[in-house]
Structure 1
Amino acid sequence: MTIRLKSLILPISFAAAIAIPATAGAEVVKMAFIDPLSGSFAPVGENMLRSWQYIADLANKQKWAGDNTFDIVGFDNKGSPQESLVQLKAAIDQGYRYVIQGNGSGVALALIDAINKYNERNPGKEVIYLNHAAVDPDLTNSKCSFWHFRVDANSDMKMEAMTSYMAKDPNIKKVYLINQNYAFGHSVQRAAREYLRRKRPDIQIVGDDLHPIGQVKDFSPYIAKIKASGADTVITGNWGADLALLIKAAKDSDLKTNLYTYYAVTTGTPTAMGSAGVDRVKFVGYWNPNNQGFVGKDIVEGFKKKYNDDYYTMATYTGMKMLGQAIKETKSTDPVKVAFAMEGMKVQSLNGEVEMRKADHQLQQPLYITTWTKVNGKDVKYDQENTGYGWKTNQVLDTHISAQPTSCQMKRPSK
């Protein structure tokens, strides 16, 4: 049975946390989910924890890791890099050797550094880090690590897909950028300017704002600036409450611009959009439940039935597929053997065949451009947050279109 915990230190014995015998030769692989489970970003963190747990249960039933099973437990980092390091130490002290995180590239950078140092000092007790949503490109470039695997697309990959789609729209002439003031927001800002200049040099950037993450309660002053700029399109990497509040302010001010987003699918944002976002809010991501053939519908419907919530972090499926396959192939839960097995691995995920690129541990996968619209029971079958609105697939871009070069100089341990 999986448990979601919000306490700082988990009341579980060290011996029990390492590996609990299930059947002869089998282990329970304990995984520590380190993300916000309190504060303004808690709804997103809680949804993602449930998503990991739901797919872990599926993996256990279908024996993705053979007779080994998974148990995923939540550690609340409150969205803070410093608190994340406290939680990482707590998890390691209790025997966890698999860590999951995604909400915040600042947190991810801190975790990579800490895990690198820990693994170097503790051979035989290494830790693997699965990253499901922290998308700063540096994490698989200058900061790349053998112990880190990103199952999301990085922000440059998403911007490559987004601007390839935008470049074909002659109605886009003036773009406004608004992003959170931290590593990820900076990467979105930089890539938007660079890629639009390369693909559509005629497009003007008429505004560019960076705001404190998780601190702005009223975005109406920003919306007023966007209106005054004459922008016809907004690009934002905002997520969680920062995106929901931005869209709420846009709706209240009757802003008519199109909004290109990275995270409009995340908890709270669909409700904030409602009918006001129809045909104007777009999302770039690695999957859409309203895909051709509705691949993954059993998971979407099962998750909704169990939690009355929406399954949107499909990286959880990819991550568990790869981890399960690596454990099954190596007949081991040892992180070193599992990490080597995951390098270059290809699996069939809900968005087609994906590959964990060996050079930098960045997953290569197709990307989707979608538009918020009314459910019609045909190509838009699944809504979000019981709004009656969902995402229509505009285009699926093949893996090679968004692929990016890497500067990673991977340092590998001996096998």
Structure 2
Amino acid sequence: MTTKLLNTTCLTLLAAGLLAGPAAAEPLRIAIIEPFSGSQASSGELYAIAGKYGIEEINEAGGFNGAPIEVLEYDNGGTTSGAADKFKQAVAEGAHVILQGSSSAIAGQLTEDVRKHNLRNPGNEILFVNVGGEALELTGDKCQFYHFRFTTTAPMRVGALVQAMKEAGDLGTRVYSINQNYSWGQDMEAAIRAAASQGGYAVVEATLHDVNKIQDFAPYVAKIKAAEPDTVLTGNWSNDLLLLMKATGDAGLDVRFGTAFLDQPGNIANAGETALGHYLASPYNIAAGEKAFPEAYKAKTGHYPMYMEPQAVNGVRTLGKALEKVDFGGGEIDVTEIALALEDATLETDLGPITIRKEDHQAVLPVVVSRVEKGAAYTVDGTDMGFVPIKVIPGPDALYPVQDSCSMKRPG
């Protein structure tokens, strides 16, 4: 063969890809869609930090499919329309997994976007890992195979609060319910009413208010004071809880709160010492577990894991357990196969295992009830107060029944 003919043959083979090196592995792309601007930005940033921490753990262990997992970040601005737009952008940029936590309303938008996309694009599905949206409809009317929830719901939080506060003698017989007027807040009010017989209390008044629009909660605190409750139960979060705590502190209101999100940064500082004795039900408390995780997290992020960060990390870690069970050999990623593996994944934590209920993809996870006290192992907001674990309720005991409205269609 002449040199000219050899060179021509080599060029032909290269053009056909026959002499090229091995094809690059397809990286798994996880899109974090959170509010990084607006009133919910502080929550969105924490979800993103926690999500990236969990993804970095997987990458440090070797990544997935022969490549590091790639992270895409999008600012939804705290609105459902913003989330819908960013979902489209994430799809265009090759996302396989959506990771989101701030706001049940946005989670509801994204799960519907994912559902519609997957119906229209068989073989090119997207997985939604929900680490914060707690509205019951997400595992009820809106339940679908590609949505997995790695946090609690209102019945789980309220049930845990009522049980622990009653056992501690801190519940009383008069309860005031104050919540945001959308799916999550409505779930909370319903759960508070449903738990009344179990807790031995009467709901003396219930208030639903606009979401993240109220600048002064003093009139609401005045209503609470007038009702003379022993306990206030609330699922408020973001500015609505920060400002409620501030108004409570300013008024010197002497009433105990049972909350879902009191560990949100700023709440204890806003309430001051009126927060002493308040309760929190959450999926994790770093003071209840081993010290290795909070110390490792602080070394990477500059702060101890707080608020929703531990549950977000555990959601990503559970996804990591599923990824260990699938092997695409560096080739095209099959999201459906990942979802099937996620159904069977188990994450062992120092507070108990986390698994998935296949009927609705609700995570079965422990619920920790804590009380604000001085001298806590981890103080918050620059105060001398923190969250002392009072009771850990195992996942199966905290779980709510599968809702009749969930009719999940499985692939195949």
In which range does the TM-score fall when normalised by the shorter chain? 0.7 to 0.9
2:210 alignment partner, one of 202, 208, 212? 212
Provide the residue aligned with 1:403 in structure 2: 399
Q: CA RMSD in A?
A: 2.0
- Identity among equivalent pairs (%): 29
- Aligned 1:257-296 pairs, distance under 5 A: 257-279=255-277, 281-294=278-291, 296=293
Provide the residue aligned with 1:328 in structure 2: 324
Compute the TM-score of the two structures, normalised by the length of structure 1.
0.87
Shift of 1:311: 3.6
How many Å separate the matches in 2 of 1:39 and 1:322?
A: 30
Tell me: CA distance 1:66–1:396, structure 2 relative to 1, closer, same or farther (3 Å): farther
- Alignment of 1:104 with 2:103, yes or no, is yes
Provide the residue aligned with 2:386 in structure 1: 390
Q: Give the AA of the match of 2:334.
A: D
Specify the SS of the correspondent of 2:175. Answer: strand
Q: What number of residue pairs does the alignment pair up?
A: 383
1:224 alignment partner, one of 200, 217, 222? 222
How many Å separate the matches in 2 of 1:277 and 1:200?
A: 22
Shift of 1:139: 0.9
- Aligned 1:304-315 pairs, distance under 5 A: 306-308=301-303, 310-312=305-307, 313-315=309-311
How many Å separate the matches in 2 of 1:381 and 1:166?
A: 21
Q: Give the AA of the match of 1:411.
A: K
Shift of 1:317: 2.1
- Alignment of 1:362 with 2:362, yes or no, is yes
Specify the SS of the correspondent of 2:358. Answer: coil
Shift of 1:58: 2.0
1:220-259, Cα deviation, whole Å (9 max, x unpaired)? 0000010111111100000011101100100000011001
Q: Determine if contact 2:289/2:350 at 8 Å carries over to the other structure.
A: no
1:386-410, Cα deviation, whole Å (9 max, x unpaired)? 3332210001112222111113221
Specify the SS of the correspondent of 1:88. Answer: helix
How many Å separate the matches in 1 of 2:259 and 2:70?
A: 33
Shift of 1:338: 0.2
1:130-163, Cα deviation, whole Å (9 max, x unpaired)? 1011101121122111010001012222222122
1:104-147, Cα deviation, whole Å (9 max, x unpaired)? 11211221112111101111211100101110112112211101
Tell me: CA distance 1:250–1:340, structure 2 relative to 1, closer, same or farther (3 Å): same
Provide the residue aligned with 2:116 in structure 1: 117
Tell me: CA distance 1:195–1:154, structure 2 relative to 1, closer, same or farther (3 Å): same
Shift of 1:328: 2.2
Tell me: CA distance 1:320–1:250, structure 2 relative to 1, closer, same or farther (3 Å): same
How many Å separate the matches in 2 of 1:174 and 1:145?
A: 39
Provide the residue aligned with 1:166 in structure 2: 165
Q: Determine if contact 1:149/1:361 at 8 Å carries over to the other structure.
A: yes
Compute the TM-score of the two structures, normalised by the length of structure 2.
0.88
Provide the residue aligned with 1:6 in structure 2: none
- Flag the structure with larger Rg: 2
Tell me: CA distance 1:288–1:308, structure 2 relative to 1, closer, same or farther (3 Å): closer
- Alignment of 1:413 with 2:411, yes or no, is yes
Specify the SS of the correspondent of 1:208. Answer: strand
1:318-347, Cα deviation, whole Å (9 max, x unpaired)? 222222222221113421110011113212
Specify the SS of the correspondent of 2:279. Answer: strand
Tell me: CA distance 1:235–1:365, structure 2 relative to 1, closer, same or farther (3 Å): same
Q: Determine if contact 1:286/1:351 at 8 Å carries over to the other structure.
A: no
1:292-317, Cα deviation, whole Å (9 max, x unpaired)? 544623334324xx344644421222
Provide the residue aligned with 1:181 in structure 2: 181
For structure 1, which runs of at least 5 residues remain unmatched after alignment?
1-22
How many Å separate the matches in 1 of 2:27 and 2:386?
A: 37
Shift of 1:67: 4.3
Q: Determine if contact 1:240/1:269 at 8 Å carries over to the other structure.
A: no
Larger CA deviation: 249-258 vs 267-276: 267-276
Tell me: CA distance 1:138–1:88, structure 2 relative to 1, closer, same or farther (3 Å): same
Q: Give the AA of the match of 1:413.
A: P
Shift of 1:24: 7.4
How many Å separate the matches in 2 of 1:195 and 1:355?
A: 25
Shift of 1:165: 1.9
Provide the residue aligned with 1:31 in structure 2: 30
Q: Determine if contact 1:36/1:79 at 8 Å carries over to the other structure.
A: yes
Tell me: CA distance 1:372–1:300, structure 2 relative to 1, closer, same or farther (3 Å): farther
Tell me: CA distance 1:353–1:25, structure 2 relative to 1, closer, same or farther (3 Å): farther
Specify the SS of the correspondent of 2:262. Answer: coil
How many Å separate the matches in 2 of 1:388 and 1:24?
A: 56
Shift of 1:173: 1.5
How many Å separate the matches in 1 of 2:63 and 2:317?
A: 7
Shift of 1:64: 6.5
Q: Determine if contact 1:101/1:132 at 8 Å carries over to the other structure.
A: yes
Shift of 1:217: 0.5
Provide the residue aligned with 2:13 in structure 1: none
Larger CA deviation: 398-407 vs 292-301: 292-301
How many Å separate the matches in 2 of 1:270 and 1:74?
A: 30
Larger CA deviation: 265-274 vs 352-361: 265-274
Provide the residue aligned with 1:347 in structure 2: 347
